[in-house]
Amino acid sequence: MHKYCFGTLTIAVLVLIAMVILNPPRAKSQRSSSQPAEVKIDNFSFSPEALTVRVNVVVTWINKDDVPHVIASNDGVFKSKGLDTDDKYSYRFTKPGTYAYYCSIHPKMIGKIVVQ
């Protein structure tokens, strides 16, 4: 191989490695701070049941059940009004942590938001 080609190839590989180090691929469960995240309420469950997001992401719950639900955090940080079919509730997570929540009408319905 010609010296010039080998040098160019080496530089290209080093640039690619630097790009991966400086901008690593994100896990599918994480969202950037500009992308909203959704939790669907259907068949008396939250989907996804656990969601990982970045700080300052707005999470929106959408009720697709035919009965009302109330989203309430276990620690009292957030609580929705009663959500009828197709109603939405949104909350912006501004601090890192794990936020467990449930439906206060149907306490067996549980979920959690992990904020990184």
High-pLDDT (> 90) share of the chain, %: 69
Each residue of 15-47: pLDDT tens digit?
545 555 655 554 444 444 446 799 999 999 999
Which residue has 């909203």 as its token pair? 36
What is the signed CA dihedral for 38, 44, 45, 47, rounded to 10 degrees?
-30
Per residue in 94-105, pLDDT (tens digit) is: 999 999 999 999
Question: Any idea which fold 37-115 has?
Answer: Immunoglobulin-like (2.60.40)
CA-closest candidate to residue 87, choices 109, 71, 102, 110: 71
